[in-house]
Each structure stands twice: as C-alpha cells, then as structure tokens.
Amino acid sequence: MLKKHLDLLSIIEENKALLEGHFALPNGKHSQIYIDTDILLQYPSLAAKLGEAVAKLFTKKADIVFASSEESLLLAAQVAVIMGARVMGAKFKEGKIMLKETLKIKEGEKVLVIDNVFMTGRKINQTLQLLQCYHVNIIGVAALVDRSNGKNLYFENVPLRALLTYPLDLYEPEACPLCKQKIELINKEK
C-alpha cells in the first residue's frame, strides 16, 4: 500500500469512506460529499500506515503531537509513535478549548498539530491559539485531507500539509441547493 507515496484517495474509495448525499457538517455548512476518516482509522494497520505517511510530511521532529479534536486523537497517536513524541489532545468544555489539567507542556517544545479533515480551520485556529499560551514552537499542522486548499489557516509561518487536497463546495444551510432539491439531510455534526 505504501509505495513511493500513499494514494489516499484510492484508499478512501476502496474503504468506502467517500460518502455522497446531503450532509450537515460539524462546521454548520452543507456538502454533497463527506469523507469519513473514522472508517479508515478503525483498522490499526491502516491507521499506522496513515500515521507514518503524515509524519513523513515534516522533516522536523516534534516533542508533542497534538490532536485538535477527539476524532483526530487516534491519528495523532500513530504520528507520535513514528516521531517518538508524546501525544496530547484538545479538550472542549462549554465551547472553549483547553488542555487537560494533568498534561504539561514546556516552553519551547516542538509541537505538530493534527486534524483528520481540515475545512474551515476553526478547530485548528483555536488549537493554535491555545498552544501559543504555552510559548511552544509549532512546526506545522498536518491533516489526512485538506478540503480548504489551506486558505483558512490564520497563523502565519505555520505550514499546513495534507496527504490529500480535496476541495469541495460548501453551502450555507439557507443557500444550499441540496436543501432546495429536498434531498434528505444526514447530520455529521459531532
């Protein structure tokens, strides 16, 4: 499966993780395609290969691989194994992102932020703001899939790298052509 590079689109299609329909996404927008990375990450050997491929996107090694959400923690753990790093994850409480009280980050540590699918950048930007409070060296943001073409990362000098760039049309609910066609809405808001 891993040749010179990993063909993530083929893997997504082979595992039926590319869903077509009418989806309400976690960012509140609608889309006719949903990439369900949980389908891929349920297989430990595939999760390990994806983690290895993501880790290879960066030449710098991280001290901490930081998951931007609960959904990206498994991928972050696989990347951390390859990099020989610690793994941590964001915790959301009452809509605010925070670090679990028992986890410690030291000033100057190198951190790689992980997200399964990068769309609007909301979670990543909140995560980067949180990490700035610890005065760390953010080496980058990595994702399996970049649906935004990297346009939504608001932090300068933080590279965003993904195994697959797959931009999609996103619609505001009130202007969604799929809603107007009365296509059944499937809620993927987590």
pLDDT in tens, 28-70: 889 999 999 999 999 999 999 999 999 999 999 999 999 998 8
Record the pTM: 0.89
Instruction: For the domain covering 8-187, report its CATH number.
Output: 3.40.50.2020
Question: Which pLDDT does position 4 carry in this prediction?
Answer: 41
Helix H, strand E, coil C: the string for 131-158 is: HHCCCCEEEEEEEEEECCCCCCCCCCCC
Instruction: Give the whole-angstrom CA distance, residue 127 versus residue 130.
Output: 5
Task: Sketch the domain layout of the chain as residue ranges.
Answer: 8-187
- pLDDT beneath 70, residues of the chain: 1-6, 149-155, 189-190
Q: What percent of the chain stands above pLDDT 70?
A: 92
- The residue ranges of DSSP E strands in the chain, in sequence order, are 18-24, 30-35, 64-67, 86-93, 96-99, 110-118, 137-146, 160-165, 186-187
